[in-house]
Amino acid sequence: FTMLQRLRSAIENQEFTLFYQPIINIKQHKLDCVEALLRWPQPDGTMISPEEFIPLAETGGLINDIGIWVINQACVFCARMRAQGFADLRIAVNLSSTQFKDNKILSTIKQALAHSGLPPSALEIELTESLLIEDTDNIQQQLDAISALGVTIAIDDFGTGYSNLGYLRNFNANHLKIDRSFITHLGYNTLDDTLVTAMIKMANSLGLKTIAEGIEDTATLRKLIELGCDGGQGYLWSKPVSAEKLTALLSSDY
Tell me if 230 contacts Mn ion by CB under 5 A: no
Instruction: Rule CB under 6 A: choose which of 32, 124, 213, 230 binds ligand G.
Output: 213
Show the binding pattern over residues 1-20: x = contacts ligand G (CB under 6 A), - = does not. --------------------
Tell me if 38 contacts ligand G by CB under 6 A: yes
CA separation for the pair 38, 52 (Å, rounded): 11
Q: Could you count the other beta carbons within 10 Å of the beta carbon of residue 201?
A: 13
Closest distance to ligand G from the beta carbon of 131 (Å): 10
CA separation for the pair 62, 82 (Å, rounded): 31
Q: Taking the CA atoms of 182, 123, 73 and 1 in sequence, report the sign of the dihedral they define.
A: negative
Tell me if 235 contacts ligand G by CB under 6 A: yes
Closest distance to Na ion from the beta carbon of 180 (Å): 7
198-217 binders of Na ion (CB under 5 A): 213
Q: Cβ closer to Na ion: 58 or 213? A: 213
CA separation for the pair 201, 228 (Å, rounded): 9
Closest distance to ligand G from the beta carbon of 102 (Å): 15
Phi, psi of 2 (to 5 degrees): -80, 165
136-195 binders of ligand G (CB under 6 A): 156-157, 180
The contacts found for 241-248 with CB under 8 angstroms, 24 or more apart, are 241/19, 241/20, 241/21, 242/17, 242/19, 242/20, 243/18, 243/20, 243/77, 246/20, 246/22, 246/34
Helices (H), the chain: 3-12, 50-59, 63-83, 105-116, 129-133, 137-149, 180-183, 190-205, 218-226, 243-250
Tell me if 157 contacts Na ion by CB under 5 A: yes
Instruction: Rule CB under 6 A: choose which of 145, 160, 216, 247 binds ligand G.
Output: 216
Tell me if 213 contacts Mn ion by CB under 5 A: no
Tell me if 129 contacts Na ion by CB under 5 A: no
Closest distance to ligand G from the beta carbon of 85 (Å): 26
By three-state DSSP, how is residue 17 classified?
A: strand
Which residues in this chain contact ligand G in the complex, by CB under 6 A? Answer: 21, 37-38, 49-51, 54, 70, 94-96, 156-157, 180, 213-216, 233-235, 239-240
Which residues in this chain contact Na ion in the complex, by CB under 5 A? Answer: 156-157, 213
